Structures are given as C-alpha cells and as structure tokens.
Amino acid sequence: MGNLLVFSIVLIILYKIVHYLYQQVLTRGTLCTSCTSCVLSTSSTNQPDWLRQYRENNIVEKGAL
Amino acid sequence: MNQTNYSEQAKALAQLVESKKPDADRITRLDHLDRILAHPILGIVIFAAIMFVIFTISQVFVGPTISDLMVLGMDYVAQAIEQLLIALNTSDFLSALVLEGMIGGLAAVMGFLPLIMVLFFLLQLLEDSGYMARVALMMDRYFKKIGLAGRSIIPMYVGTACSIPAVMAARTIKNDRQRMLTVMLTPFVPCGAKLPVIALFVSVFFAQHVYLTALIYILAIGVIFISGLLIKYLLDAKIADDGSQFMIIELPQYKLPSLKLAFHVMLEQAWDFTRKAATLIVLMNTIVWMMSHFDFGLNVVDNPAQSMLYSVSLPFAWLMIPLGFGVWGLAAAAIAGFVAKEEIIGALAIIFVFSIHDDFSISSIDATRTALTSVAGLTSVSAFSYMAFNLFTPPCFAAIGAMHAELKSRKWTSFAVIFQLIVGYVMAMWIYQIGTLLVYRTVGEGFVVSIVLTVALVIGVIAFKQRYTLKVSHG
C-alpha cells in the first residue's frame, strides 16, 4: 500500500512537471524556464510554423501571448 | 504687418526667457572619476578588482554561510521524508528514487541558490550605480579589434545571468557582422546556470584559491577575444564590414544604487532559479537516476557499470581521455549539462556522491570532495579542465535554439555550435595537458593524442581559411 501511494505521488509530480515544461515549450518555442518576464513568451517570431499553428488551433491564449 | 508682429513678439519673449548654456568646458569631479574608471588600462584593473571583490563576498563569505544554513534545512526535510517513507514500508528502490533521484539531486543544486542570490544582488548594485556603462565604453576600444561593437558588452553582461536573453539582446546591434559575432561569442560568458558548477569545483578543489572564481570570468573574456580573432581570421572575407563600428552610449550620472531594486532583482533571479530547479532539474535528475539503475532490458542493476547511462556515456568518456576526465560518470554529467548546466551538479551527486553514502543525507563539501577525488578520480588540474569544458562548450539546447533564431541560418548555427564545441574541448585539453606537465611534472593521459589533435586543429584552421578564401574569391 505504501509503495502504491508513493509511486502514485511520484507519477503525479512527474506528470505535473512534464505538463508544465510542455506548456513552456508551447509558449516560448523552446525548452527554457529561466526568466519570469521572457521575451520569447511574447514573441512568435522564434517559433516554427507548425508550433504557431498548433497554438492557434489548440491553446487558449491569455493576454497578449 | 505680420512680420512686424512676430518681431515684436520675439523681442517680448526674449525679455522673459533666460537661456543658459551648459558649461561644456567645466570638468567636474565625476569627469575625473570617469577618466580613472574608464581608463584603457587602469579601468581594466579596477574592473577586475571590483569583480574579484564581488565574487569573494558572494562565493566565499556571505553566500556559503547562507548556503550552509539552507543545506541544514533541506537535510532536515529530507530526513523527515525518509522517515515517512520508512513508516509507509516503501521499498528500498522506490525510497532511493525519491530520496536520491528527486530530492537529493534537487537539493544538491538548490544549495547554490544563496550564492547566486548574493552575486546578482551585488551585480545589480553595480549596474544601478552607473558604472557598467563606463565598462561598456572602456571595452569598446578592445572589442573593435576583434570586429565587435562596444555595444556587444551589453549582451555579454546580460549573459552573466542567462545566455538566451543575452543572445536575443544582440538584436539591437545593427551591423550584421558584429551581431553574428556577438551571438557566437556571448555564450562563452559564464551564465547563472554555470555558476553552481564553478562554485562547486572551486570550493572542493581550490578552497585556498577562491580568486579563481573571478579568474574564470576574466578567462571567459580572454576566450571571447581569442575566439573573435580566430573567427575574424577564418571568415573575414565572407562577413562584409560596412565600417559602422562606432558606439553611441549615454553615460548615466553616478548615483547611490537602490537597495530595493537590487533586492527585487535578487528575488526575481532566485524565483527563476528555483522554478527551473523544481521542474527541469528534478525531471532530469529522475531520468539520470533511472538510467543509472536500469539496463536496456529495463532490469534493475546494482552495478552502475551495467546501466543504460554507462553504455550511453562510455563512448563520450573515451573522447574525454585527453582532457583528463575519461570517466563515464563525468561524461554523463557533462552530456546532461546540455539540457541545463545546473544538472551537472545533480548528475554528479546522483552518480558519485550518493553512491558512497550508506545512509542518505544531503551531500556536504567533504562528501563531494571524496566522491570527486576518490570515486571519479579527479585531480586539481583535471577538475579545472572539467570546469573549463563545461563552461566553454555550447550552453543548453535552449540557448542553441536562441542562437539559431538570431542567426536565421542552419549553416551559421552549425558553425557556431561546432566552433564552441571545439573551443571548449581544446581549452580543456590544453589546460589538462599543460597543467599536468607544470604541476605534476609528468605527461597526462592521452598526451600523444592531444599532440596529434592540436596539430590536426592547426592544419584544419589553415586549410579552412585557404578553402574559404578560395571559394569567396571565385564567387
């Protein structure tokens, strides 16, 4: 029971991390989580076309992103 | 009639308005200060001294003191979690994954957070005082010699925090050649992510020579200059120079720096670091731990030499023999560092430090020293070589992506990455081989190979130059 509980918590934590990093890649166009006020977040020029299209089709934009 | 009215109005205004021209010939005390701080030679010495003081305060006195307290706190939390896992009858394997892979690796990286916070607090004070604009002016005359603009110092200063915004800051440089050179050379500046690597190796191997931390940044400037000259030699025929190498910069008034602003910047840097550590570093540490405990058949292995990580990193370890650290674990950590340089610390902790602990505890400097010297087999010279390799090879993949976005060319991005790899590799090789000769009075491992590689490099540079010049001259 303890193993199952710990394993579940580990999986949830890792899923949350992967999901967060995935969102960062979609937002910034690259795997970078360094800066709070990121120029990449507000600039779509650095993103490849397929990523820009995916964002337009699937992601609900917040604010100016 | 209208002209008469205007004339009368002008006379009336002239009586009301007093114009006062500034006395441009008057030399103030601040002008005298600028003559000293921006002096071509004295200014460099003063800059080096100021940086030495900043690094000494952040890396020797204040930073480590706070770091020790933080490590104590993290150790307490980790041991509490260990007790909880024992109470839940968790298997040893799962406990090790949580304590070593996730928490231990994270704690090893987070231990350097206070050093980073203090450093950026002091750097912000320096910038807010107005001094850094003088540094930019001072560096202009030197940067011109390698084809850079004085304005290039700004991306490089930003690069002390992170290479990605630094590379993007090069966008303000209008001259194409200067911008390309700046993008290629800025990653040589040790960023905030590389600082934990520097701090770890200096504290473990060079505790009596803490000035080496500041020396690393001076070395980085030297690498930038030499690399700039080399690129200029290799590609001068290709990158056109339109002569616009002047720099116009406003020198702000000197002022007392704002503690509030510096505190705000420090907290922002701390939050960025923590967020990165708690996400990307934890994930990478988990992957490194899993790869070091499983083979390709997904069977649990007790001997790391049978693990996936060993198999993947061994070929790279062979390549690093002439550099003095042909050990699979060190190669694995260096490879992991291309995702995030802080991950080098976490990977070293997982591969070496925790492997020698019977009871889990947050790694201490003594444990790290034992691990890196006895287990990894590093000497002072090879440790410096390892540090140089990780500092001067390309930064993280995200920074490479930013370079590609600015260079807008796969050819130039590939050139930049290969160039940085060669610079980092050769620097580490020369540091190890020459250092071993000077310090230990013997030849290092792979000495003959290093001679062959050096000769091959010189021939390669000359051949590249001749071929490139021939190609350009023939259109």
pLDDT in tens, B431-441: 999 999 999 99
Q: In this complex, is the C-beta atom of A40 within 8 Å of any C-beta atom belonging to chain B?
A: yes
| Dihedral in degrees, nearest 10, Cα atoms B382, B383, B385, B390 | 140
Q: In this complex, is the C-beta atom of B397 within 8 Å of any C-beta atom belonging to chain A?
A: yes
Minimal CA–CA distance to B245: which of B172, B150, B135? B150
pLDDT score, position A6: 92
The Cα–Cα gap between B336 and B351 comes to 12
pLDDT score, position B1: 45
Q: Please judge whether B397 and A33 are an interchain contact, meaning their C-beta atoms are less than 8 angstroms apart.
A: no
Q: Please judge whether A17 and B97 are an interchain contact, meaning their C-beta atoms are less than 8 angstroms apart.
A: no
Question: What 3-state class would DSSP assign to B38?
Answer: coil
Name chain A contacts of B265, Cβ cutoff 8 Å.
Answer: none
Could you say which residues from 266 to 285 on chain B have a Cβ atom under 8 Å away from some Cβ of chain A? 268, 271-272, 275-276, 279-280, 282-283
Q: What is the ipTM of this complex?
A: 0.76
Q: Please judge whether B91 and A31 are an interchain contact, meaning their C-beta atoms are less than 8 angstroms apart.
A: no
Q: Please judge whether A17 and B162 are an interchain contact, meaning their C-beta atoms are less than 8 angstroms apart.
A: no
Q: Please judge whether A10 and B282 are an interchain contact, meaning their C-beta atoms are less than 8 angstroms apart.
A: no
Q: Which residue of A has its CA nearest to B405?
A: A46
Q: Taking a C-beta distance cutoff of 8 angstroms, is the pair B78, B99 a contact?
A: yes
Residues with Cβ within 8 Å of B412's Cβ and at least 6 positions away in sequence, in order, are B180
Question: Chain-wide mean pLDDT for chain B?
Answer: 83
Residue with tokens 């130059």: B465
Strand partners, B300: B294
**pLDDT of chain A, 65 residues: tens digit per residue:** 888 999 999 999 999 999 888 887 777 666 666 665 555 554 545 555 666 676 666 654 444 33
Minimal CA–CA distance to B327: which of B378, B388, B397, B385? B378
pLDDT score, position B201: 87
Given a cut of 50, the residues of chain B with pLDDT beneath it are: 1, 237, 240, 358-362, 475
Best of B92, B100, B168, B280 to disrupt the A interface (most A CBs within 10 Å) is B280
Name chain B contacts of A21, Cβ cutoff 8 Å.
Answer: 279-280, 283
pLDDT score, position B317: 93
Dihedrals phi, psi of B11, to nearest 5 degrees: -65, -40
The pTM (predicted TM-score) of the whole model is 0.81
pLDDT score, position B313: 93
Q: Please judge whether A3 and B85 are an interchain contact, meaning their C-beta atoms are less than 8 angstroms apart.
A: no
Torsion over CA: B337, B339, B341, B344 (sign): negative
The Cα–Cα gap between A34 and B203 comes to 25
The Cα–Cα gap between B352 and B355 comes to 5
Q: Please judge whether A35 and B275 are an interchain contact, meaning their C-beta atoms are less than 8 angstroms apart.
A: no
Q: In this complex, is the C-beta atom of B61 within 8 Å of any C-beta atom belonging to chain A?
A: no
Count CB-CB contacts under 10 A for residue B410. 9
pLDDT score, position B106: 86
pLDDT score, position B287: 92
Q: What is the 3-state secondary structure (H, E, C) of B82-103?
A: HHHHHHCCCCHHHHHHHHHHHH
Q: Please judge whether A35 and B165 are an interchain contact, meaning their C-beta atoms are less than 8 angstroms apart.
A: yes
The Cα–Cα gap between B130 and B255 comes to 7
Strand partners, B294: B300
The Cα–Cα gap between B261 and B179 comes to 30
Least CB–CB distance from A20: residue in B94, B268, B279: B279
How does DSSP classify residue B258? P
pLDDT in tens, B335-389: 999 988 888 988 888 888 766 554 444 456 667 777 788 878 889 999 999 999 9
pLDDT score, position A65: 36
Least CB–CB distance from A30: residue in B85, B271, B402: B402
